[in-house]
Structure 1
Amino acid sequence: MPTPTLFKFSDIEHRYQELQPGGTFIKPWVNVKVSESMAGGVNFLNNISVPWNLEVDEIVFVKEGNFRLIADGVAYQCSEGDVLYMPKGMDVKYECDEKCIIFYAVYPVDWKQKLGITEVPGIDPEDM
């Protein structure tokens, strides 16, 4: 029977402190090794705009700072504590003007494998 898995923010917090402007770091804590259905983790961004084709349903929670999603030319400005739902199939940009931290949850868990994606900007190769 599966058991809960605890992930400690303190284990990766140094990556946020080290993040330079124009940088992003993604830590996918929940992945196919942990779950059969959903994925999730944290994303650190620093003064960046990252274009992305959204191939999954995604929910974002802004933990710290201000996060902006651009979808179909519309800007969705999110502050600390805000939650944003994004349906799959959109071309988007993840943006912030300074540092921010977001938590994300996506479905399905194996979206990268299904699409043959072997690299995502900001994810360490061992986390792919």
Structure 2
Amino acid sequence: MTSTTGRTPVYVVDHRDLEFIHRGGPPGSASVVRALSDDISPNLGVGFGKWEGAEVSWTVLYDEVIFVFEGCFTLKANGQAYEVHPGQLLWIPENTVLEYSGHATFGYVVYPGDWKRRNSL
């Protein structure tokens, strides 16, 4: 849903209306979806994730915030495991080597939003 309140539109995005993309598993399953395109928001990448027991290793090429709606999301980084529950968020700095896991539905924000273009991916 969009609403024009000034020079640019305001967007309301419901994760249930989006098509998630498989990112990990088996075992388990991991999927994500970008809620706003780079055309709308090149500065911030915004989306949702669903983790159902999958473990996904990655090095983040951006600063990231993850906020949990349901379940428990686990991040392993720097020799520690961080458990994030509903109402909590996690901030992850750029270039962190990590592993995402757990059973959770969450939202995320990354900066810069156009990190793929900036990294020629």
Structure 1 residue identity aligned to 2:38: V
Q: C-alpha separation between the residues in 2 aligned to 1:112 and 1:82?
A: 27
Q: Which residue of 92, 107, 111 maps to 1:103?
A: 107
Q: Tell me which residue corresponds to 1:123.
A: none
* Alpha-carbon distance change, 13 to 65 in structure 1, aligned in 2, over 3 angstroms: farther
Scaled by the length of structure 2, the TM-score of the pair is: 0.83
Q: C-alpha separation between the residues in 1 aligned to 2:54 and 2:34?
A: 19
SS of the residue aligned with 1:4? Answer: strand
Equivalences, count = 112
Shift >6 Å, 4+ stretches:
none
- Report whether the alignment pairs 1:23 with 2:29: yes
Q: Tell me which residue corresponds to 1:36.
A: 42
Structure 2 residue identity aligned to 1:72: N
Unaligned runs of 5+ in 2: 1-6
Structure 1 residue identity aligned to 2:47: G
Scaled by the length of structure 1, the TM-score of the pair is: 0.79
Higher strand share: 2
Q: C-alpha separation between the residues in 2 aligned to 1:50 and 1:32?
A: 24
Q: What CA RMSD, in Å, does the superposition of the two structures yield over aligned residues?
A: 2.2
- Report whether the alignment pairs 1:114 with 2:90: no
Asked if structure 2 preserves the Cα contact closer than 8 Å seen for 1:31 and 1:38, the reply is no
Q: Tell me which residue corresponds to 2:4.
A: none
Q: Which residue of 57, 69, 89 maps to 2:75?
A: 69
Q: Percent identity?
A: 28
SS of the residue aligned with 2:54? Answer: strand
Shift of 1:14: 9.2
Q: C-alpha separation between the residues in 2 aligned to 1:55 and 1:27?
A: 17
